[in-house]
A and B are shown apart, each in its own frame.
Chain A
C-alpha cells in the first residue's frame, strides 16, 4: 500500500493538470488541422500532376532519400548533424506521442511495455540527448560559423538566421522538457522506493535525475507538472509554427520525396492529361500565375529547407547571374503564405513574371541540373523554370536576342538561318572524303543513323567533331549514314526555352525522317541531341551517345590507340546532359584511360557535381547579365586541377571552353578537345574500306 500511496502522490500533478492538458491537446490539434488545411488549399487550386503511379519505385525513393538521407553527407558537417537529428526524431516519435498520451491517459508511463520498452526508453534517452546537443551545436554554428550558403543577398531580403535559431532553440527546449519530465518521473519512482528501470547512463535525463535525487515527492510532482506543460506547449507550438517557415519540411519531406520525379532528363508536358493533338485548345501555356504551378511544385516550395545547397552548386548563381534556385523556392513560398493567409481571402492571380520573378532570372538557367542533383528533398527546378518560360513565350515576352534564332529554327530548322541543303557540307571536306565517305540515308539499308544536330553540322569548328565521329563509326564497322538536309534541329533547347509548339514541329519532322530511314539505332555526339532523342522523342530506335559506343568498342578491342607521347595532363569535363541528366560518367573516362600514356586528373567538381560550361543551344544566343562567364570559372578549375587539356564530349561545351580559354588569358597554356577528336587523333586508323557503292553525302 505504501508504494500505492507514493504513486498516487506522484501522479497527483497529473490529476490537477488534467483539464489544462486536455485543453492544450485539443487546441493544438485543432490549430494544426486548420493550418494544414489552409496550406492545402492552394494545392487544390493548382494544376494537376499525376504522381500516384509506380508505388514501389516511390517507396524505393523514400527508403533511399528520406529514410536513408542519401544526399545529406554530400555536405559533411551539416549532413552529419542532420543525420543525427533525423535519426533522433525517428527514434523519438513513439516516445513523444506516448508522453503526449500521458496527459489524456492518467497513466504516467504509457508506451511500449516490458524489456523492449525499457530498451526503447534507454535508446531514446540517448536520442533526446543527442538531438539536444545537436541543437546547441547547430545554434552555435548558425550564429558563429555560418556557411556562406546561408547568407541572404540584400535583393532577397533579410537573413533567415533569427527564424532558424528560434526553431532550433524550440527543439532544444522540447528535448530538455522531455528529459526533465523523464528524470522527474524516474526520481519520483526511486524516492517512492519503486524499482525504477533506470535511465540511460550519462544521458541528459539521467543527469537531470541525479540532480533531482534529493528532491521531495511534492517538489518532483511540480517538476513533472512543469516539464510536462512545457513539453506539451512547445510540441504544439512547434507543430503549428513549422508550417510558417523553413521547418515545414519536417512534415512535408516524406510526401515530397514519395511524389518526387522518377525520370531524370525528362520535362513535364505543357499540361498533364492533355495529348499533343489537343494542345492547341489549351488557352494558356506554362506558368503565368502562382496557381499555374502543379500541386507538387507547390509542395516543393513548402518543403524547401532553405539549406542553400542548390544555389551553392548553381553555376548561374556562381557567376552572378540574377538567379538563385533557393530563392525561386523561398520567394514562391513567401508568396503562397502571403496570398493564402490563415485568415481572409485567398488567391491573387497576378502574373509572377515582373513581380515575384524577373525575366532575366528565369532566362538565366542553363537547365544543368546541379541544383536538383544536390537537393536532399528532391525539389524540382528545371520543370518550373521551363514552365515559367512557356508562359513568357506564350505572352510573346522573349528577349530579342532569342527571337531571331527561334524564327530561323521555324523556317530553316536550325538557329543560324543557314540553308537546309548545306547541313551535310561538313562531310564534303576534301581531306575528309579521302578517308571516310558519309552517305545520306534514304532507307538504303544502313542500320545506324548518326544524328549530327545543328551546331555540329553548321559551325565550322564543330564540324571537326562530326568528321571525327564519322571516322570512329567507320572504324567500329558501323553501317551508318546521316539524314543530311532532312535532319532538323533536335529541338532540345527549343523545348527547354519553353517553345513547345516549335519543338513539337521539329520533333515530328525528325521522327518521320528517322523512321523513314529504316535504321535500327541512333548515334550522336551531342549530349543535347542525345537527351532529346532519348527522353523527348517517342517511337524512335534506341539512341547511344558516341562515348557509350566507344567504351564498348574499346573494351572489345575493335578500336585501338597509339600512345600519347607528350607531357600533357588531361581532365574530363562532364557535360550536364551526358552526366547528370543521363548518368554517363564512366564511359568517357574508360575511353580516355584506354589511351596509353595519357595522364588524366579529376577536377574537384566532376561527375554529378560538374560545373556547367555556360549552356548550349539557344543559351549561346542569350545575353545574360553576369559578372563573369561560367566557362571562365570552369577552365580555371581545370588549371587548378593541374590539367592543360580539357576533354569534353559536347559541341556546346567546346564553344564555351574555347571562348573561355581566350577570355581567361590561358591561350597557349590550355586547350580543349572533344572526346571524338582525341580518339580520332589517337586511334589506329584502319584506312578507308571498299565503299564504292556508297553514295556521297551532300
Chain B
C-alpha cells in the first residue's frame, strides 16, 4: 500500500463533492498504532459481522422488542466505534437509548437512516481493503 493512500488530504480529495465520509482512515490507522494488518483484520471482521447486527436490529424494531433493540444496537455501536464510523455509531447509540428507555416511537425512522449509512460505510471499507491490496 502506498503511504499516501492513508493520508487525510488524499482521502478528503476523493470525498470532497459528496457527503463527508463516515470514517477517517488516518485516524483509524493512528488508533491501531499504525498496524495495517490489524486494520485489515478489523475491517474484515466488521464486514463479516455487521450484516448480522443490522438484521438483529431490524427484527427487534419490527417486533417492537425494546430489550432486543438495545442489545443489537449496542453490539453494532461497539463495532462501528472500533472502525471509527461516527455516523453509524451515532444512529446505533440513538437506537440503543430508545431500547433502554423502552421508547421505540422513533425507532423505525432511525433504522431507515441506519441502513443506508451502514451500506455506505461498508462500501467505503470494501474500497479501503481493495486499495490496501498490494499491486
Same assembly? no
A residues bordering B, Cβ < 8 Å?
A: none
B residues bordering A, Cβ < 8 Å?
A: none
